[in-house]
Amino acid sequence: MTILHIETSTKNCSVSISRNGKMLCLCEEYDQNYGHSEKLHQFVNWALEGAEISLKELDAVCVSKGPGSYTGLRIGVSAAKGFCFGLDIPLISLNSLEILGQTQIDKGFDLIIPMIDARRMEVYTASFDDNGKMISDIEAKVLDETSFQELADKKTAFVGDAVEKSKPVLNLPHAEFIEGIHPSAKQMIALAEKKFIQKEFEDVAYFEPFYLKEFIAGIKKS
């Protein structure tokens, strides 16, 4: 199976191509300005060239469905659906927190807590065990000094682009705050392969991103 993977839930615009569980090429860039609309299709083209395959060789497209950036998710899902419609191939979706949690599996933690920035002191988060299995519901959580106190005796990995702002607030003696890690298309491969084998596909016509919260437009700062 040959799968195109698209991850745009954060400021990291990431594309990979895999064949039978092996990554053939990865193109990604972290952009503070969310330049996904300009870069995504170029990254897809570069990934295809790097993998030395054509679009017609793809068996499926896998996309990060969220939660995360409203604009980033909309761009990634729209592109994925376009490829699936045009090529008549199935669509696979993955949770962006699960993708992020994959970076810390099998590292000896009791819990893995991926956190994606939702602005101010709010984060999108969920809990995973050391094997990457989700063990709590996804939520939009406002952080304060009482957050996650029930995990004070656990060896917990906090990871994601919300770690920097959460570290000074959370008083957890056994926690590790792992900065500089973002959801990446390279972490999608094993998860997507499993869903492909089990034929867990989305309805391309009706599939929408998982925003978790309603989008509220703000006034652009000058």
Predicted pLDDT of residue 218: 47
CATH class (in words) of the domain with range 98-178: alpha beta
| Beta strands, E only, 50-186 | 60-66, 91-95, 111-117, 122-125, 139-142, 156-159, 175-178
Predicted TM-score (pTM) of this structure:
0.93
Tokens representing 73 are 């998710």
CATH among 3.30.420.40, 3.40.50.720, 2.50.20.10, 3.40.30.10 for 2-96+183-197: 3.30.420.40
Query: According to CATH, where is 3.30.420.40 located in the chain?
Result: 2-96+183-197
Residues 104-143 have pLDDT tens digits of 999 999 999 999 999 889 999 999 999 999 999 999 999 9
Tokens representing 165 are 């702002």
CA 103, chain centre distance (Å): 11
Scanning the structure block, which residue is given the tokens 């017609």? 56
Low-confidence ranges of the chain (pLDDT < 70): 214-222
